Amino acid sequence: MRFFQKFFGGHKKLPPIDISTLVLTDMHSHLIPGIDDGAKTLDDSISLVRKLKEIGYKKLITTPHIMSDFYRNTPEIINKGLLLVKEELKRQNIDMPMEAAAEYYLDFDFNGKIKNEQMLTFGDNLLLMEVSYLNEPDNLDGVIFELQTSGYKVILAHPERYPFWYNNFNRYETLKNKEVFFQINVNSLTGYYSPGAKKIAEKLIDLGMVDFIGSDCHHTNHLNILELALCEPYTHKLVESGKLLNSKL
């Protein structure tokens, strides 16, 4: 922990925010073993769930990647993995309600999934979607429209991590006007991903544009950083704003 404190600034700014009563649910993580770049083994999964419970979460909605070229997960694969984790949690007497959806990547086959598949959602038909970190997809607005007209409510995962919008903040405002929900990663508030991601996350919070906060947990180091993030002033500001929807999931 001292290493992380030194790396991220060396001092604790505020007491940890109480997520056990104000956030409750983590809705972005990668906890199903062996199907994406998150937990590798069932032991990894259980260790991560234990730690999330210790941190204060009361419910987990895990969201494995679905990518047509790389992580070719299906609802069947994800639900089978979820059952495996839940059975082990029960065997070890770990009381943690857990569901699964997915983090969909907007790729060449995404429109086909909308038309031909039952997409994995959570809450009130909420669908978590990410895009490339390199450039905005040309068809982003069209995909959002198609999802919404198909009855889905779109959550854009970690918008603060897309550098092509850093000098075009109006794009965030346009997406919000299209009723897209924004989910930031709590670790962005430490500068873990980049100074730019931290700055944009803070600006989104200042403007009341953040709807969900997620751990985006892949491994133990993410949870070590998360514990530091709970002491960040902007984590307090967001959680105490009353704008987050996590507790309604």
pLDDT tens digit string along 50-96? 999 999 999 999 999 999 888 999 999 999 999 999 999 999 999 99
Of 127, 139, 151, the C-alpha closest to 66 is 127
pLDDT at residue 24 is higher than 70 = yes
Map out the domains of the chain as residue ranges. Answer: 2-241
CATH number 3.20.20.140 is the correct assignment for the domain at 2-241: yes
* pTM of structure: 0.93
pLDDT in tens, 118-160: 899 999 999 999 999 999 999 999 999 999 999 999 999 999 9
Write out pLDDT tens, residues 152-181.
999 999 999 999 999 999 999 999 999 999
DSSP 8-class letter at 93:
T
- Distance CA(42)–CA(30), nearest Å, equals 12
DSSP, residue by residue, 115-181: HHS----BTTTEEEEE--SSS--TTHHHHHHHHHHTT-EEEEE-GGG-GGGTT-THHHHHHHHTT-E
